[in-house]
């Protein structure tokens, strides 16, 4: 493994088998049993770590929001105004580590100003029903890396919403040029001195240079245009990774890579035969050469050289919906 990689823990959120942990980047796995606080067969849709070295993990599940505290080895259900609602997305403000925003199904938002221990509902109106997914859901939340207080939320199926006051109030972006409101994710990066916003949809990758009001469809050199996750490699360069396949869950797909902050894309070359669309990508700045990719139906791939070469991990899961690389506990780092 690359330098720094042993300090990371890999977490996988599944539909039907809860959360799995690996302290060696996918070679071996453990899963806390139901007596640890989270139902063994829970569906987990989102994961968020912290950067304090305490190993704390937040998991958005179909039973609400849970916190994993490795010091006590238990999951604790966090109180929220959403009751037993499904939590699909969680994000932390880059300017204030205590400021969190979470999204759920049915589509709604809530916020915390104390690191997730207490939550309040945010007043925003989303679409209430959809012929394709039944009940719309917030799929991702993204903070602007340049403009303090600006946040986006993607909704499946209701387009992209924006806040300019750190999530207190929201409006739906005009969305001109967005060919589908079936938005799976949003990511904002700094390119050419300004924020470049990406949105992944069922009909392709879109880019906006004006905060989400207008969009351009960026066609991929691929048999399919369906896209799911877009992630920037944890390095100063312009490398991005994009998951692409033939549908949800799909029967095949590819990981796309860009070296020019999303202007052009090429096949990253995952090995083996993919069993479904690639769904999640995980990176972490403490080990920028490590990249983990999961397909929707449980395959895992690992790169230790920034995505130049890949290996398929032996372990496969059922359905994967979330990946997380985060620092292990400080105590474990000191004894490693």
Percent of the residues in the chain that have a pLDDT greater than 90, as a whole number = 79
Q: Six-digit token pair at 186?
A: 């949003």
Q: Six-digit token pair at 266?
A: 């090429």
CA distance linking residue 256 with residue 237, whole number of Å: 16
Task: Count how many domains the chain has.
Answer: 1
Q: 3-state class of 82 per DSSP? A: coil
43: DSSP letter: B
Note the pLDDT of residue 333. 33
3-state helix/strand/coil string of 83-104:
CCCEEEEEEECCCCCCCEEEEE
Note the pLDDT of residue 4. 42
pLDDT at residue 159 above 60? yes
pLDDT at residue 55 above 90? no
Sign of CA dihedral 244, 246, 249, 252: negative
3-state helix/strand/coil string of 140-173:
EEEECCCCCCCEEEEEECCEEEEECCCCCCCEEC
Percent of the residues in the chain that have a pLDDT greater than 70, as a whole number = 94
pLDDT at residue 48 above 60? yes
Query: Which residue from 5, 43, 22 is spatially nearest to 322, judged by alpha carbons?
Result: 43
Note the pLDDT of residue 68. 93
pLDDT at residue 292 above 70? yes
> Mean pLDDT, to the nearest integer, of 223-252?
94
pLDDT at residue 82 above 70? no
Q: Is 16 left (phi over 0), alpha (psi -120 to 50) or beta?
A: left
Read off the pLDDT of residues 83-138 as tens digits, 9 standing for 90 and up.
Answer: 657 999 999 999 999 999 999 999 999 999 999 889 999 999 999 888 778 899 99
pTM for this prediction: 0.93
pLDDT at residue 180 above 80? yes
Domain range enclosing 294: 5-335
pLDDT at residue 11 above 60? yes
Angle CA 125–184–326, to nearest 5: 105
User: At 70, is the pLDDT very low, low, confident or very high (cuts 50, 70, 90)?
Assistant: confident
Query: Which residue from 147, 145, 151 is spatially nearest to 100, judged by alpha carbons?
Result: 151
Q: Which residue has the higher pLDDT, 265 or 33?
A: 265
Q: Which residue has the higher pLDDT, 179 or 191?
A: 179
pLDDT at residue 234 above 90? no
User: Which phi and psi (to 5°) does residue 331 adopt?
Assistant: -60, -35
Are 198 and 231 in contact by the 8 Å Cβ rule? The answer is no
Query: Which residue from 275, 273, 277 is spatially nearest to 256, judged by alpha carbons?
Result: 277
CATH code assigned at 77: 2.130.10.10
User: At 53, is the pLDDT very low, low, confident or very high (cuts 50, 70, 90)?
Assistant: low
Note the pLDDT of residue 257. 97
Note the pLDDT of residue 32. 86
Read off the pLDDT of residues 304-332 as tens digits, 9 standing for 90 and up.
Answer: 999 999 999 999 999 999 999 998 865 43
Other beta carbons within 10 angstroms of residue 263's beta carbon come to: 13
> Mean pLDDT, to the nearest integer, of 165-182?
96
Return mean pLDDT, the chain: 91
């Amino acid at each position: 493994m690359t330098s720094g990689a042993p300090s990371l823990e890999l977490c996988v959120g599944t539909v039907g088998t809860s959360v799995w942990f690996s302290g060696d980047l996918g070679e071996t796995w453990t899963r806390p049993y139901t007596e640890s606080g989270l139902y063994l067969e829970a569906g987990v849709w989102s994961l968020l770590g912290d950067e304090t070295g305490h190993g704390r993990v937040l998991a958005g599940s179909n039973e609400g929001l849970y916190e994993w505290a490795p010091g006590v080895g238990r999951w604790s259900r966090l109180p929220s105004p959403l009751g037993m609602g499904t939590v699909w997305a969680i994000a932390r403000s880059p300017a204030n580590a205590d400021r969190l925003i979470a999204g759920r199904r049915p589509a709604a938002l809530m916020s915390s100003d104390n690191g997730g221990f207490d939550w309040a509902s945010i007043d925003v109106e989303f679409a209430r029903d959809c012929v394709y997914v039944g009940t719309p859901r917030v799929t991702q939340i993204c903070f602007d890396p340049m403009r303090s207080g600006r946040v986006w939320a993607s909704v499946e199926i209701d387009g992209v919403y924006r806040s300019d006051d750190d999530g207190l109030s929201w409006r739906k972006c005009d969305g001109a040029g967005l060919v589908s409101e079936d938005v799976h994710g949003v990511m904002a990066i700094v390119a050419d001195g300004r924020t470049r916003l990406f949105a992944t949809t069922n009909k392709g990758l879109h880019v906006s240079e004006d905060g989400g009001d207008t969009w351009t469809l960026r066609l991929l050199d691929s048999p399919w245009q369906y896209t799911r996750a877009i992630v920037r490699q944890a390095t100063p360069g312009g490398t991005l990774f994009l998951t692409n396949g033939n549908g949800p869950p799909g029967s095949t797909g590819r990981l796309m890579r860009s070296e020019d902050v999303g202007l052009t894309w090429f096949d990253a070359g995952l090995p083996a035969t993919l069993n479904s669309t690639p769904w999640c990508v995980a990176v972490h700045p403490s080990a920028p050469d490590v990249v983990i990719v999961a397909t929707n139906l449980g395959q895992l791939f690992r790169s230790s050289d920034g995505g130049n070469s890949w290996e398929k991990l032996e372990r496969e899961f059922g359905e994967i919906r979330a990946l997380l690389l985060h620092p292990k506990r400080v105590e474990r780092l000191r004894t490693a």
